[in-house]
Structure 1
Amino acid sequence: MSEQKIIVVGGSAAGPKAAARAKRLDESADVTLLQKAPELSMASCGYPYYIGGNFDERSALLATPTGVVRDEAFFAAAKGVKARVNTEVTAIDRDNKTVAFTNSATGESGTLPYDKLVLCTGATPRRPPIPGIDLEGVRGLSEMRDADKLRELRDSGQVNNAVIVGGGLIGIEVCEALADSGMKVDVVEMLPQLLLFLDWEIAKLVERHVGSKGVTVHTENGVSEFVGENGKLTGVKLKDGTIIPCEVAVVSIGVVPNVSLAKEAGLEIGVTGAVAVDEHMRTSDPSIYAAGDCVEINNRITGKKAFAPYGDLANLEARVVADNMILGDKAVFPGTINSGICKVFDLSAGSTGLSEKRAIDEGYEVVTATNASMDKPGFMGAKLLVSKMVADAKTGRILGFQCVGPGEVNRQVAEAAMAVMNGNTVWDIGVADLPYAPPFSLAIDHFITTAHILGNKIDGRMAGISNADVKKLVDSGETPFILDVRAPAEFEEMRLGVGEKLIPLGKLRNALDELPQDKDAEIITFCKISMRGYEAQRVLEANGWTNVKVMEGGIMAWPFAIQR
């Protein structure tokens, strides 16, 4: 390997990974890492948890697992990388292969030559042109200083009311951080739901849980103005005229890729507005690569271009960049299936692949199944999971999976991600050999059970109906016969309150005369999680009823008000 000069622009996630791996692969390489901010290798996904007081040492966001802060001296000694902070790259001269830089702390400016250049310029939070957005108290969360300020406000005890603008991943995580500190928190989301990567009925379970923690959620309602006095925020005015008093508002409505440097250098910008790269993460200039939140990549399911600003993908992309710079263009980054997860107080919410809505929009004929069941045996402290699987109705290929609950959501979504990437069908997963022991899962894992439910639907053994569709029927006045086959004690504890008839499953065969005697009448069965509901459907169909549906997920997946 011959010595080559490598310059990496950006020192958050992708940049340090690309620089350090390039040096590991070629010790003779001259690697320089230029970072505009004063910190290096920030664990930015940890900002909400620092704000929330999960840990108190700010340096933990900048440190190795052994506690060594990743600063300029660390990169020089441990990685052999020349790192410079407070150093902004202001221009790229592609003809002469140089970059111009300015150091904001010292005023130094100059140029540096490169053989290979890597752009890891990241993304910036959206700042919509809303009146009052520049008031003191309106903040974003993209840099360490933002996290520092929000942590300072949290610790001060002087902020009583906060508004989170945006109900996505970061918004929900910051909501939890501030609510746990004792603040009164309102979340404002202009779309009909929180967490857009979930389908509506699954997202509503999250919304109900957030509300149970004292947070007020406003959906289908945007911000029209930030209201203030003497330059300081005093409230947020919504589109419907409501004014929410607050001392701080965190704007978290997504990010836009930082592409000005690339655009000014004449590099190709993709259809998503991010830097275009090929499968080797190479830009339109063969000497320049790019990775992280500034690039667009392929969606591995649809084949379309996607903007996917996630920390894990940034690191994986950067690894591919380093391999290709040093070893030649052999490594490939195939793209994303949009896997994600977040903590929502004592609930988790995650997904992978396509939601039902997205799959339909992409032209798929889809079939779905909702499963509510435990993550492990009851004697091992079982916790609830509610999941939804989306598959291609023609082939049974799993296109997506969503899961929420206090149980082991991460395991379920990780299993699903591998199934989606591998193109597995519901029948493949129905016989999957997964690790089992009572402390970790049920004998038939929740994910496999969800595939069984969907397989039963595809094979015509089960007819299902979503809880959202049941609610629509009830609200329209076209109420079918709704059969609850739980035990009386369960019914007394909580019920839907939609005029359901209680006949416990164990008594159903001897109580068929209590059902509509028109064998074509629509009957909807359910129980706590609808396993007994499915058994009831089979009993009724065996006795001649022809229009029986199971309300999938049972009462545990019902996202609407429940009578208690």
Structure 2
Amino acid sequence: MNSKKIIVIGGSAAGPKAASRARRLDENATITIYQKASDLSMASCGYPYYIGGFFNDRNQLLCSPAGVVRDSKFFLNAKNINAVVNTEVTAIDRKNKRIEFTNLLTGEKGSDTYDKLVITTGSSARKPPVEGIDLEGVTTLQSLSDADYLRKIRDEGKIKKAVVVGGGLIGIETCEALHLAGIEITIIELLPQLLTFLDKQMARLVEKYLQTKANVILKNGVTAFLGENGKLTAVKLQNGTEIPCELAVVAIGVSPNTKLAKNAGIEIGHTGGIKVNEYMQTNDPDIYAAGDCVEIPNLITGKSVHAPYGDLANLEGRVVGENVIMGNVAKFPGTIQTGICKVFDYGVGSTGLSEQNALQQGFDTIETVVNASLDKPGFMQGKLLITKLVVNKTNSNILGAQVIGPGEVSKQVAIWAMAIKNHLTVDDMVNADLPYAPPYSLAIDHSIATAHVMQNKLKGLFKGISAKELREKSKNKDPMVLIDVRNPDEYEEMRLGIGEKLIPLGQLRKRLNELPEDKNTEIIAWCKISLRGYEAARVLQAYGYRNVKILEGGIVAWPYQREK
């Protein structure tokens, strides 16, 4: 019996995963990877941390869990996979099931035939079409050579000022890496907020924290990179400002590499990625695709999205590897777009839909809540978490969650991701059986407490007001009574300073005479995280006040200037 012949185009993440899975399922298949770059299985999400000096051995980016560098020799000896590097596949002949390739070092051309073909050509960094983009000192962070370039800059220590163009995941992580190298950073973002997967209040909290480490400029784009003698000297912005710098890292997103597939008549979707079915199969039944070059369904909206995440690339590659050997037996259903990044001492994560995305997608019956608390008890050095939860009011299904802060963000995002994937409701989450011990969490985990707040809100027990709404009301001088129910020493240490009255929770019942007699008066209460604010609101409601609201997330989730 003839063995199957499988060719994989692309050797970063999805391709090697597909090849390795195929090999484990069929020892006799002939499997070849063609890789345009000189390296294989690069841990590209680790590039910022290599640049930042979290580790110094470049080979760590290429190693297997056992510490062996995954080069061509490794693939041949350990997996019996022929991995051909520095070789670009230039054409796919679907009729004759053949590919054409060129060795980029020698110029030698060749061809190879396949039974099943896997396209994992990845993505390329977007570059703005502006003057000076090719100056020395202007770079992206997409390839290992980019990482090598930036690591060399870090090690030399000569450059003192840099600009990062783009306030997304890669831009923020690059900012930290360069800051750790002692470089003064300015982040330029065309949009009115950083990290567009977050809602504005959450993004504003991240921005406020990031401003303690770097300069942040929003609602401004780059019109030119300025230089002398071929080297970058400054970046010019839309408003005419020129920012002196010797380095600019462009991080404005990526575009799927689909030219090869498109030229072969492979169908491309509306996001620009290769269109695949649930088996990761293209419109050609003998050609599969995975990784950054494809588009996949969003499991909440049903719409196709481009989701260039390293974890998804590996999961998709595994499905492909199984299907090219066994037939279409494995499925990849899609994504809820779960992501996380490290922002200095903050974690920033999101899963599912943000409020603004939910509204854009036509969800018009949503409810949101912001909850702030520690991730574990104070006596175990607990750290702050701020979560915004988005649910569908009609069925209480959880649609999305955003979590930020110095606390254990990853755990929280993982909990919400599993809840969304399994269509859990708020009522499912309020009694979730999660592990508890003081070194790891509060007795009522932050995620469960967030569900409690949402349940109270859905039942009408908790009437919240967002920081944005309160700020607008304050600016408009709307008639309302503002009450801070913390202790005096807390008030002196930190306060909003927008006309609030200090009435500690323990004194509230005795000082009701200080409130207006009109029980319809709007009263807004808060504390540090608004747990005491909620208790104050319940007290006031019990005494007949009908228009009492709680500032969601309290003072710690206030994203604007405070008096103290």
Q: Normalised by the size of structure 1, how large is the TM-score?
A: 0.99
Work out the CA distance in 2 between the residues paired with 1:385 and 1:515: 33
SS at structure 2 position matched to 1:470 = helix
Instruction: Give, in angstroms, the shift of residue 164 of structure 1.
Output: 0.3
- 1:392-448 CA deviation, whole Å, 9 max, x = no partner? 011110000000000000000000000011111111001111111111111111001
2:98 equivalent in structure 1: 98
**Residues 1-16 of structure 1 aligned to structure 2 (within 5 Å):** 3-16=3-16
Work out the CA distance in 1 between the residues paired with 2:480 and 2:168: 36
2:73 equivalent in structure 1: 73
Work out the CA distance in 2 between the residues paired with 1:387 and 1:178: 28
2:53 equivalent in structure 1: 53
2:304 aligned with 1:305, yes or no? yes
2:440 equivalent in structure 1: 440
1:339 equivalent in structure 2: 338
Work out the CA distance in 1 between the residues paired with 2:27 and 2:505: 70
Work out the CA distance in 2 between the residues paired with 1:550 and 1:169: 32
Instruction: Give, in angstroms, the shift of residue 108 of structure 1.
Output: 2.0
Q: Is the 2:479–2:522 contact (alpha carbons within 8 Å) kept by the matching residues of 1?
A: no
SS at structure 2 position matched to 1:535 = helix
In structure 1, give the amino acid aligned to 2:271.
T
SS at structure 1 position matched to 2:211 = helix
In structure 2, give the amino acid aligned to 1:166.
G
2:19 equivalent in structure 1: 19
Work out the CA distance in 2 between the residues paired with 1:550 and 1:466: 9
Work out the CA distance in 2 between the residues paired with 1:169 and 1:216: 17
In structure 2, give the amino acid aligned to 1:477.
K
Work out the CA distance in 2 between the residues paired with 1:53 and 1:487: 43
Instruction: Give, in angstroms, the shift of residue 516 of structure 1.
Output: 2.0
**Residues 496-535 of structure 1 aligned to structure 2 (within 5 Å):** 496-535=496-535
2:283 equivalent in structure 1: 284
SS at structure 2 position matched to 1:56 = coil
Taking structure 1 as reference, are residues 443 and 2 closer, same or farther at Cα in structure 2, changes over 3 Å only?
Answer: farther
2:415 equivalent in structure 1: 415
In structure 1, give the amino acid aligned to 2:200.
W
- The farther-off stretch of 196-205 and 223-232 is 223-232
1:492 equivalent in structure 2: 492
2:300 aligned with 1:315, yes or no? no
In structure 1, give the amino acid aligned to 2:298.
N
Work out the CA distance in 1 between the residues paired with 2:338 and 2:259: 28
Work out the CA distance in 2 between the residues paired with 1:61 and 1:260: 28
Work out the CA distance in 2 between the residues paired with 1:523 and 1:270: 51
Work out the CA distance in 1 between the residues paired with 2:255 and 2:510: 63
SS at structure 2 position matched to 1:510 = helix
Instruction: Give, in angstroms, the shift of residue 302 of structure 1.
Output: 0.4
Work out the CA distance in 2 between the residues paired with 1:66 and 1:281: 29
Taking structure 1 as reference, are residues 479 and 351 closer, same or farther at Cα in structure 2, changes over 3 Å only?
Answer: farther
Instruction: Give, in angstroms, the shift of residue 389 of structure 1.
Output: 0.2
**Residues 356-435 of structure 1 aligned to structure 2 (within 5 Å):** 356-364=355-363, 365-435=365-435
Work out the CA distance in 1 between the residues paired with 2:47 and 2:476: 45
Work out the CA distance in 2 between the residues paired with 1:229 and 1:474: 50
Work out the CA distance in 2 between the residues paired with 1:67 and 1:328: 33
1:176 equivalent in structure 2: 176
Work out the CA distance in 2 between the residues paired with 1:533 and 1:448: 19
1:257 equivalent in structure 2: 256
Instruction: Give, in angstroms, the shift of residue 106 of structure 1.
Output: 2.4
In structure 2, give the amino acid aligned to 1:10.
G
SS at structure 1 position matched to 2:351 = strand
Work out the CA distance in 1 between the residues paired with 2:514 and 2:41: 67
Work out the CA distance in 2 between the residues paired with 1:249 and 1:516: 57
1:116 equivalent in structure 2: 116
In structure 2, give the amino acid aligned to 1:430.
V
Q: Is the 2:88–2:101 contact (alpha carbons within 8 Å) kept by the matching residues of 1?
A: yes
SS at structure 2 position matched to 1:534 = helix
SS at structure 2 position matched to 1:212 = coil
2:557 aligned with 1:557, yes or no? yes
**Residues 199-238 of structure 1 aligned to structure 2 (within 5 Å):** 199-213=199-213, 215-238=214-237
- 1:246-295 CA deviation, whole Å, 9 max, x = no partner? 00000000000000000000010011111000000000000000000000
1:330 equivalent in structure 2: 329
- 1:67-120 CA deviation, whole Å, 9 max, x = no partner? 211000000000110001001000000010000001111222110000000000
Q: Which runs of 4+ in 1 moved over 6 A?
A: none
Instruction: Name the % identity.
Output: 60
Work out the CA distance in 2 between the residues paired with 1:162 and 1:35: 32
2:460 equivalent in structure 1: 460
- 1:36-58 CA deviation, whole Å, 9 max, x = no partner? 00000000000000010111111
In structure 2, give the amino acid aligned to 1:503.
I
SS at structure 1 position matched to 2:172 = helix
CA RMSD of aligned residues (A): 0.9
| Paired residue total | 563
Work out the CA distance in 2 between the residues paired with 1:66 and 1:210: 36
Instruction: Give, in angstroms, the shift of residue 451 of structure 1.
Output: 0.7
In structure 1, give the amino acid aligned to 2:452.
H
Instruction: Give, in angstroms, the shift of residue 514 of structure 1.
Output: 1.1
Q: Normalised by the size of structure 2, how large is the TM-score?
A: 0.99
Instruction: Give, in angstroms, the shift of residue 66 of structure 1.
Output: 2.2
In structure 2, give the amino acid aligned to 1:427.
D
Work out the CA distance in 2 between the residues paired with 1:210 and 1:484: 27
Work out the CA distance in 2 between the residues paired with 1:64 and 1:340: 23
1:354 equivalent in structure 2: 353
2:163 equivalent in structure 1: 163
Taking structure 1 as reference, are residues 313 and 26 closer, same or farther at Cα in structure 2, changes over 3 Å only?
Answer: same
- The farther-off stretch of 470-479 and 239-248 is 470-479
In structure 1, give the amino acid aligned to 2:43.
A
1:478 equivalent in structure 2: 478
- 1:317-350 CA deviation, whole Å, 9 max, x = no partner? 0000011111110111000000000000001000
5+ residue gaps, structure 1: none
Instruction: Give, in angstroms, the shift of residue 155 of structure 1.
Output: 1.2
Instruction: Give, in angstroms, the shift of residue 2 of structure 1.
Output: 5.4
Work out the CA distance in 2 between the residues paired with 1:2 and 1:291: 26
